[in-house]
Amino acid sequence: MNHRITDLSSCYSIADLRLLAKRRLPKGVFEFFDGGAEHENTLRANEAAFAQVRWRPHTLRDVSQVSLESSLFGSPLGLPMGIGPTGGLGFGHPGADLALAKAAASHGIPYTLSSSATTSIEDIAKHAPGRLWFQAYILKDQDHFWSMIERARAAHFEALVITVDLPVGGKRERDFHNHFAIPFRLTPKNMLDMAQHPLWLLRHWQHGFPTLVNLEGSKSANPINRDAFKKLASTVGRSYDAAFDVQRLAEVRQRWRGKLIVKGILRPDDALQIARLGVDAIVVSNHGGRQLDGAIASLHALPSIVQAVGQTLPVWLDGGIRRGADVAAALAVGASGVLLGRASLYGSVSAAESGAQRALDILAEEFKRTLQLCGAKNVQELTSDLIELNA
């Protein structure tokens, strides 16, 4: 379909918001958000898994009143969704992290702040009114790792999210070709790219170029050298600790007394091992196709993990969510909820809070419509008999 997407009023889907972001952002910045690892097979597989879903809907049911509400950790959710951790949003639009957090609060869903966000832990806690989670990347600089966790505790974040699927950074080749690295470094190639997007450039000139404020001061976050773009390693992952293991995760569980969520699980045996540590939830995830290319699609990994641990703790999913029907499919397969990545990101980096609100409104409306068309009055009625997966 060839639609001319010029502003939010012409966006009726997440795909439209993606096109708006592509139009408004420099190519290198857009592809940092949009791209995956290597051939991007897993990136495509996540979406393809949902495209293969087939519904067997109930009919002749009264669905004039439908509830979209759910719950997690004993507290209500406006939707069975949360905002997953997405780093560097300020490179797309100044204040995009906070904009997304505010949009999440207005829909009654949690917001997860990434370690590599461009807004600080304290500023999010001060200005965002909703349920806040903090995602701590496993850094080589353990003092800084624990310092970030202590800051999240002091700021009263509800949950800590530990992402375990990146002992090293994935090989994200679009970033190499576009000369995109963090910390950002100007080259003739990306300067020409930015010059073709004057409104984006004006915003960043007015607000200042973003930094990864929560990582400032870390001994792991060394500046890139002038040969960085020639190296076959992602600049995003050079600070990660490849030695982090289950014993270290147990230490996190011991020291963090709030809710603990482990993200990046694709195997039921790993899920069982983590559940024994007393974590509070698991997120089935392949990092949006940005880490191991060729990894199984999140939706296809979900059923065996739900079967292994779903009776003992909530199992959430991320990866490939682009429609409200995708949310419904994940719940029908057994997920307790989903984390949104690119689906909410595209709105926030293209149009700040109004774009983030638009993304969540679209997903909520599509989710409601899917329930009604399947004859389900609430999320509890999204059962496995409604769906077939063609893996």
Res. 229: pLDDT tops 50: no
Buried b (16+ CB within 10 A) or exposed e, 329-338: bbbbbbbbbb
Q: Is 287 designated active site?
A: yes
Q: Is the peptide bond before 80 cis (omega within 30 degrees of 0)?
A: no
**Choosing from 107, 204, 287, 300, which is the catalytic residue?**
287
What is the token pair recorded at 385? 């008999």
Query: What share of the chain has pLDDT > 90, as a percent?
Result: 85
Q: One-letter amino acid identity for 182?
A: I
Q: For the residues 344-369, what does the mean pLDDT come to?
A: 98
206-223: per-residue pLDDT in tens? 988 899 999 998 876 554
Quote the tokens at residue 135. 């995602």
DSSP secondary structure, 31-52, as one string: HHHH--STT-HHHHHHHHHHHT
For residue 362, pLDDT beyond 50: yes
Residues in the chain: 391
Compare 232 and 374 and report the one with higher pLDDT.
374
Higher pLDDT pick, 187 / 246: 246
Q: What does the pLDDT read at residue 225?
A: 45
Question: Which H/E stretch holds residue 111?
Answer: strand 111-114
Poorest-pLDDT segment among 4-8, 250-254, 327-331, 368-372:
4-8
Which DSSP string do the residues of 309-357 spell out, in sequence order? HTTTS-EEE-SS--SHHHHHHHHHHT-SEEEESHHHHHHHHHHHHHHHH
Confidence (pLDDT) at 140: 93
Give CA–CA dist 96/350, Å, rounded.
9
Distance CA 345, CA 203 (A): 18
Whether 90 and 96 have beta carbons less than 8 Å apart is answered as yes
Angle at the Cα of 240 from the Cα atoms of 238 and 244, rounded to 5 degrees: 150
pLDDT of res. 227 = 52
At 232 the pLDDT is 46
pLDDT digits (tens, 9 = 90+) for 12-70: 999 999 999 999 999 999 999 999 999 999 999 999 999 999 999 999 999 999 999 99
- What does the pLDDT look like over 250-270, one tens digit per residue? 999 999 999 999 999 999 999
pLDDT in tens, 90-108: 999 999 999 999 999 999 9
User: What number does CATH give the domain 8-53+70-371?
Assistant: 3.20.20.70
- Distance between CA atoms of residues 259 and 264, nearest Å: 17
Residue entry with tokens 């370690």: 115
pLDDT of residue 237: 65
Confidence grade of residue 235 (pLDDT, cut at 50, 70, 90): low
Q: Which residue carries 């909703």 as its tokens?
A: 130
At 307, the pLDDT band (50, 70, 90 cuts) reads: very high
280 pLDDT band, cuts 50/70/90, is very high
Contact 351, 324 (CB under 8 A): no
pLDDT score of 233 more than 80: no
**Residue 347: strand, helix, or coil:** helix
Confidence class of residue 364 from pLDDT cuts 50, 70 and 90?
very high
Average pLDDT of every residue of the chain: 93
Segments in 128-267 forming alpha helices (H)? 142-154, 173-178, 188-195, 198-207, 246-255
Tokens of 118: 């461009």
For residue 110, pLDDT over 70 is answered with yes
pLDDT (tens digit per residue) in 136-156: 999 999 999 999 999 999 999
Grade residue 236 by pLDDT with cuts at 50, 70 and 90: low
Q: How far apart are CA 309 and CA 336, in angstroms?
A: 12
